Structure 1
Amino acid sequence: MANWLVKSEPNTYSFEDLQRDGRTVWDGVRNNAAALHLKAMKPGDEVLFYHSQEGLAVVGIARVSKPAFPDASDPTGRFVAVELEPVRSLKGSVTLAAMKANPALAEMAMLRQSRLSVSPVTPEEWAAILNMAGDA
């Protein structure tokens, strides 16, 4: 199993929306590097859900419930989507500032390439974030 991080603007689609909906198609990703990460996701992989623009924090955990399939919102047919389902909210949110201040996260893909909306998370980074959230 692999771990990932996805970003969403909470005023567009929040973790609370995912919890209410029970699952969602994660589509609309048009960055080639982020799209490659979507293609690598497998059912059962866990995903940190990060609120961007507002909040700037990891707030929950989701799970990949359906692997990559053609993104219906892409008229070119080049990009893919995955399906996500909620797992749980974190006990405490982990802010971007806190992540940047943690030396254990210095090489985290999301911090090095901040414009990526989908990025991998190493097991060590995953453990550090859960510890910071009080979920360890």
Structure 2
Amino acid sequence: MSPTSPPSVPPVTQNTWIFQAHPSLYRINEALKIEPKELWNINQHAKKVRRGDRALIWISGDHAGIYAIGTVQHDPIMQPDSDIGQAYWIDKRRGQAVKPRVEVVYDRILLNRPLSKAMLRTDLALIGLSILRYQRGTVFPVTPQEWMAIETWLEDDDTSAI
């Protein structure tokens, strides 16, 4: 009698996305200090963002960069922002709008040591990073090679895990 092999299961692919927040529209700095998770608008790539994907939270503006890392908890759902999330919108109507959204649970908060846009621009492996080329939008894909380069920047600071 020969042992049977376990059925082969295709590997789960984890995509990485940059979710951009605009402090002039949403009080993201405040939210990251308090909230362990948030709903995020998926204005682009709604058919590609999936449960289990990695989310890099980018805050735009004068000190632009990656300020948190999290995990997408479910596929996009058409819904308004949560009651908690709506409290952070400058214009409450934006939070009440029904849009594709995903919940992101934060795994690391980098408020004290963000990966700044200026730092990331010095890395030749990130020369094609979509958010560095096109700032308009809310969701930007990150290639596996770009994630590996970003991950090396994160290795210097392991004190920010939550």
TM, length-normalised to structure 2: 0.67
> How many correspondences in the alignment?
127
* Gap runs ≥5 in structure 1: 30-34
Between structure 1 and structure 2, the one with the greater Rg is 2
For residues 52-71 of structure 1, the aligned pairs below 5 Å read 52-71=60-79
Deviations 1:88-132, CA, capped at 9 Å, x for gaps: 124832111122221111111111212122111111111211212
Sequence identity, in percent?
26
Asked whether 1:84 is paired with 2:92, we answer: no
Q: Which structure dedicates a bigger proportion of its chain to strand? A: 1
Partners of 2:53 and 2:71 within 8 A in 1: yes
Q: Which structure dedicates a bigger proportion of its chain to helix? A: 1
| Mapped partners of 2:134, 2:78: distance in 1 | 25
Counterpart secondary structure, 1:37 = coil
Counterpart secondary structure, 2:63 = coil
Aligned twin of 1:25: 39
Cα distance change, pair 122–16 in 1 and its aligned pair in 2 (3 A): farther
- Report the RMSD for the aligned CA atoms in angstroms: 2.4
| Mapped partners of 1:50, 1:25: distance in 2 | 14
| Mapped partners of 2:30, 2:108: distance in 1 | 10
Cα distance change, pair 54–71 in 1 and its aligned pair in 2 (3 A): farther
